[in-house]
A and B are shown apart, each in its own frame.
Chain A
Amino acid sequence: MTSVDTDRTITLTVNGVPREATVPVRRLLSDALRHDLGLTGTHVGCEHGVCGACTVLVDGDPVRSCLLLAVQVDGHQVTTVEGLARDDHQGGQVLHPVQEAFRECHALQCGFCTPGFLTTIAAGLEKRDNAAELTEDEVDDMVGGNLCRCTGYANIKKAVHHANAAMRDGAR
């Protein structure tokens, strides 16, 4: 018999760490990450799938965390912006090449939309053959679902190329 619930206890792996939370079934993944798991790097903009600020990776694929219920990721792997940097084994962290490229290219201003861009682009670049030429169309398709109202996108697109080149040359 299938259980029909108003609350559920879920277990998921967030940024490589097993986590557990008891949530109302109506809790959005975006809110579960921020409020139940304390990971406030995921920003909540429009809450209806338009802005892309809350994009996280579920099993490696970019998805809108405001368009998923927390109960739907029970048993799955989630990567948030906090999970992009890697441990440098000297007590610090090494930024992901996309984060490095955003800093290098001045691809953020207020920073509100940035977590969604970083997760989306990181997944997009990791999935592609970095040796293949990165076309403007491909970049537009990659970032077109994320809204930025500060930068005008020029520097964000520059950062995508920059990160792709860094990853082609062996970063990560």
Chain B
Amino acid sequence: MKPAPFRYADPSTLDEALAVLSDEGAGAKVLAGGQSLLPLLSMRLAAPTTLVDINRVPGLDSIEVTGDGVTVGALVRHNALLAHEGAAGVQPLLARATANVAHPAIRNRGTTVGSIAHADPSGEMTSVLALTDGTVSVAGPGGVETVGWRDFFVGPLETSVSGPAVVTAASFPALPARSGTAFAEVARRKGDYAVCGAGVVVTLDADRRVERVLASYVSVGIVPEVHDLTEAVAGKPVDTADWAAAGELARTLVEPDTDIHASADYRRLLVGVLTERTLRDAAAEAAERAA
């Protein structure tokens, strides 16, 4: 249960980090919060030749909030995002999902961008990036590239990032007008990886009728996906929409897997339950914001 030997560098600028990553080649790995990487090293599921620790790189720890959205730097810890009222005001899903990320001691160290770059299908923030139609910034030798979430997530623990590169930020667009969100999980113990999690966004039209319903799930499928559930409740007044029907629809769209914690069927059941539950909350919030 000890990491295999590796080399370590803690560069003090992004350019130096990219230079070291380039010099050390394909075996080099970026270290930010380390809350997913260190267990992989200790269990010898990963054995990088070099760790490039970006914690001393300045300028990566800011949360920028504008009317259009929230941009989270690579060294922003989960707890900093959770406590950021400005970010929660523009995109409430951020704090709601972050509150479900592990335990406080993990959130003190783990980074939001790191958990996205880790691309774990049981991660909360990967789903939130998808649900909000977000992007990541990837710095490489040729400059910084903006990559949409659909192009970023390739498979479980796999992204489209290749060569010497550092994911420097994630950007989450603002919650649209007349919209509400909710996020909920079922976990075996508080703070554990979710057996199933659901994030939803409900948008109403000017007459308080349902215009759009989007959902994204945690621990369901191999990469984050966004499901459009609008057809189940389209045009219905917010107060009488059949959210259970939207839950039923969601169950037909997802393709969960079986593992030691839950069968695929149980996960599908949870998708229905959590979808209905979160949609009720999100609809109530949307109605309030539309008033």
The answer to whether A68 touches B8 (Cβ under 8 A) is no
Q: Say which residue of A47, A61, A141 sits within 8 Å of B42 (CB atoms).
A: A47
**Which residues in B have their C-beta under 8 angstroms from that of A28?**
2-3, 38, 42
Q: Residues of B within 8 Å of A, CB-based: how many? A: 40
Tell whether A25 is near chain B: CB-to-CB under 8 Å: yes
A83 at the binding interface (Cβ < 8 Å): no
Please state if B108 and A62 are interface contacts (CB–CB under 8 Å).
yes
B188 interface residue per 8 A CB criterion: no
Smallest CB gap from A63: residue in B: B109
Taking a contact as CB atoms under 8 Å apart, the answer to whether A5 and B106 are in contact is no
Contact of A25 among B6, B55, B191 (CB under 8 A): B6
B1 near A141 with CB under 8 A, answer no
A58 to chain B: which residues have CB within 8 Å? 109
Give Cα distance in the complex from A24 to B105, angstroms: 25
User: Which residues of B sit under 8 angstroms from A61, Cβ to Cβ?
Assistant: 105, 108-109
Contact pattern, A 47-84, Cβ under 8 Å of B = 1, otherwise 0: 11100100100100111101111011000000000000
Q: Bound complex: CA of A156 vs CA of B190, how far in Å? A: 16
> How far does the Cβ of A117 sit from chain B's closest Cβ, in whole Å?
11
Q: Which residue of A lies closest to B53 (CB)?
A: A72
- B114 to chain A minimum Cβ distance, whole angstroms, is 12
Q: Enumerate chain B residues within 8 angstroms of A2, measured Cβ to Cβ.
A: 9-12, 16-17, 19-20
The answer to whether A140 touches B190 (Cβ under 8 A) is yes
- In the complex with contacts A2-B11, A5-B7, A66-B42, A144-B103 CB distance below 8 A: yes
CA distance A5 to B24 in the complex (A): 12
Across the interface, A64 reaches (CB within 8 A) one of B1, B11, B109, namely B109
CB-based contact B50/A4 at 8 Å: yes
Q: Which residues of B contact A68 (CB under 8 A)?
A: 34, 38, 109
How does the 8 Å CB contact mask read for B97-124 relative to A, with 1 for contact and 0 for none? Answer: 0000011111011000000000000000
Chain A interface size, as a band, is: 35 or more
Residue among A1, A4, A144 facing the most chain B CB atoms (10 A cut-off): A4
Q: Which residue of chain A lies nearest to B3 when distances are taken between CB atoms in the complex?
A: A26
| Given A64-B109, A124-B104, A4-B8 contact (CB < 8 Å) | yes
Evaluate contact between B109 and A47: CB separation under 8 angstroms.
Answer: no
A24: which B residues are within 8 A, CB to CB?
Answer: 5
Q: Is the CB of B103 within 8 A of A145?
A: yes
Tell me whether A142 and B35 are in contact (CB under 8 A).
Answer: no
* Residues 95-129 of chain A, each 1 if its beta carbon lies under 8 Å from chain B, else 0: 00000000000000000000000001000100000
**Chain B nearest CB: distance from A148 CB in Å?**
12
Contact partners of A67 in chain B: CB under 8 A: 34-35, 38-39, 106, 109
CB nearest neighbor in A for B77: A61
Within 8 A of B (CB), among A122-172: 124, 140-142, 144-145
Q: Mark B4-38, 1 if CB is under 8 A from A, else 0.
A: 11111111100011011001100000010011001
- Is B102 in contact with A145, judged by CB distance below 8 angstroms? yes
* Interface positions of A from 15 to 57, Cβ below 8 Å from B: 24-26, 28, 31, 47-49, 52, 55
- Cβ of B42: which chain A residues have Cβ within 8 Å of it? 28, 47-48, 66
Contacts of B53 in A (CB 8 A): 69, 71-72
Asked if residues A144 and B109 are in contact (CB atoms below 8 Å), the reply is no
Bound CA–CA A140/B104 (angstroms)? 11
Given contacts A71-B10, A72-B55, whether A47 and B1 have CB atoms under 8 Å apart is yes
Complex: A31 Cα to B24 Cα, angstroms? 27
Where the two chains meet, the residues of B that have a C-beta atom closer than 8 Å to any C-beta of A are: 1-12, 16-17, 19-20, 23-24, 31, 34-35, 38-39, 41-43, 50-51, 53, 55, 102-106, 108-109, 189-191
Going nearest first, the 6 A-B pairs with the smallest beta carbon separation are A145-B103, A25-B8, A48-B39, A144-B190, A2-B11, A47-B1
6 A-B contacts (beta carbon < 8 Å):
A2-B19, A2-B20, A6-B5, A47-B1, A47-B42, A69-B31
